[in-house]
Structure 1
Amino acid sequence: MKGTTSNYFLTAHKFWKTVVNKETAADPVKLQQQIEMHQRLLNVFQAGAYYYLIFNMYTGNADFISSGVKQVLGYEPEEMSVEFMMDKIHPDDKSFFLNFEYKVVEFFKSLPFEKIPFYKVQYDLRMKASCGTYRRMLHQAVQIDYDEHNYYRTLCFETDISHIKLEGEPCFSIIGLDGEPSYYNIQNTPSFTKSYDIFTKRERDILKGIIEGKSSKILAEELFISLHTVNAHRKNILSKANVKTPLDLVRKAIKEGWI
């Protein structure tokens, strides 16, 4: 790791080092398979321009950053590091970041090994782009390289949601997949409280598609259901969310950490 002087970074690195005690070489083929799988699956969505990176828990740095970061934030991948990115977090959001990362580490330290593939972490923060303006970024992370004792690497998707969430405090959620419980909009509490899921699995599939801007016709084709069924689900989703328009639904879903 390059010379590190930031106490802010060192604090976060101490959290990360509590879940890994050695460094390992990555298997490029397996990591690429993981990236492609998570890009296809329903547990990661893109509601705007995004880039992704592979985060090395032991070094506290990125093993890889995709070229999309240039489009999203204006930086070249070669100039980016995790410490560089942390330095670009809005001053008012920096304490949120440390709190979120501490809670993520504590959650996964207590999670049974067989449950690891069924959880996604997400939170939003404001990041300064190369032009000097701040973009609200949605961070989504899944574990892709781990064993019974260590978490080695995390796949992170960073999506620009500035057009969806214009203001408000950062929101942090841990999303359970395939029937596992979720923890939405986690506050500064010492323990995790399971959240009641107001949507069915199929409604969640359609909610994700709405957020990504897909039409009912496309959703019907992708989910192998009728257009009438998709529209019925859309109506139920709006009713359950207590909103009137798809845009209001997207904004509330981001704010409440539903997705």
Structure 2
Amino acid sequence: MESNNNVIYDTWNRYSDFYTRSTIALPEVNLDQFLPSFLSSGNFYYVVDFCDKKIKYVDPGIADVLGLDPATATVDDILGRIHPEDVNYVAQTESASVRFMLDQMNKESIKSYYKTSYCLRFKLADGSYELFHNESVYLSKDDSGRIAQVLHIHTNVNHITSVNNYIPSLVDTKGTKKVWPVNVNRDSENHALNLQFSKREMEIIKLIALGNKSEEIADTLFISLHTVHSHRKNIIRKSGVKTSSELISLCVREGLI
């Protein structure tokens, strides 16, 4: 469970400029403004503070659904109930959603009326797995515009379908924008890969993961820009991905970084 959880934590930690680093008070939230835009009021919901990755509020319904004590349930407990085969998909979806928002909007535009939506399987209190629809909205930001608290609502949809279409989306809950599809590459997520990068290539991959540009990597490693470009081409060829974001997701998933 710990290793599976780390896949998702690594995804969140990679976007430290998107999530808050400071503790702020959870504002009073009128849930009525959100509920009409949700699939349903959900089987259970909770609020996560991204400063410390701790739950600030959890719905008592989590006891009946997942068998967790609402008084002591943690983020790790909830992540640990995700089906092992869905962990990578959840991590990739979280990453893709953040990348979309950072690419398409500025921080001032990312308010509580943007909702990430996707399906995943949870382990129920009786030990079986069923399909849930997850919807997440941002409740608050810190003074720097970083996301602080996020509301997650999980609805059991197994009575409708037990087959996940693996098509996440980002929705404007105020109805002023359309639904945006979030691109997640699942082609190789369930296949064991034999990624063999050289020591220098791994150094470059880790610097890419930290957000360094090619020029910065060259300066850090005391090599030429041409050499960096050559290494990056080889890294992309070996990994079979197309972008740096896909490369980092792949390396996190394979436990390389």
Return the TM-score normalized by structure 1: 0.61
Q: Which is further off, 124-133 or 161-170?
A: 161-170
The alpha-carbon deviation at position 130 of structure 1 amounts to: 2.2
Q: What letter matches 1:127 in structure 2? A: F
Aligned length: 180
Pair 1:126-2:133 in alignment:
no
- Which of residues 62, 73, 81 is equivalent to 2:74? 81
Matches within 5 A, 1:244-255: none
The alpha-carbon deviation at position 141 of structure 1 amounts to: 0.9
Matches within 5 A, 1:1-259: 7-15=6-14, 17-27=16-26, 30-31=27-28, 33-39=29-35, 42-46=36-40, 50-110=43-103, 111-112=105-106, 113-114=108-109, 116-147=111-142, 148-176=144-172, 177-184=174-181, 186-188=183-185
Mapped to 1, the partners of 2:167 and 2:177 lie a distance apart of 20
Structure 1's 178 and 9: CA in aligned 2 closer, same or farther, altered over 3 A? closer
Structure 1's 15 and 67: CA in aligned 2 closer, same or farther, altered over 3 A? farther
Q: What letter matches 1:52 in structure 2? A: Y
Identify the structure with the greater helix proportion: 1
Q: Indicate conservation of the 8 Å contact 1:17/1:58, yes or no.
A: no
Q: Indicate conservation of the 8 Å contact 2:130/2:162, yes or no.
A: no
Q: Which is further off, 89-98 or 15-24?
A: 15-24
Return the TM-score normalized by structure 2: 0.62
**Structure 2: runs of 5 or more not aligned:** 187-257
Q: Indicate conservation of the 8 Å contact 2:96/2:183, yes or no.
A: no
Any idea what SS the aligned residue of 2:9 has? helix
The alpha-carbon deviation at position 9 of structure 1 amounts to: 4.5
Give a deviation string over 1:94-145, Cα, whole Å, max 9, x none.
1101101111222333423135344211111001112110121111011110
Q: Indicate conservation of the 8 Å contact 1:17/1:57, yes or no.
A: no
Larger radius of gyration: 2
Mapped to 1, the partners of 2:87 and 2:72 lie a distance apart of 21
Mapped to 2, the partners of 1:16 and 1:74 lie a distance apart of 31
Aligned sequence identity (%)? 18
**Structure 1: runs of 5 or more not aligned:** 190-259
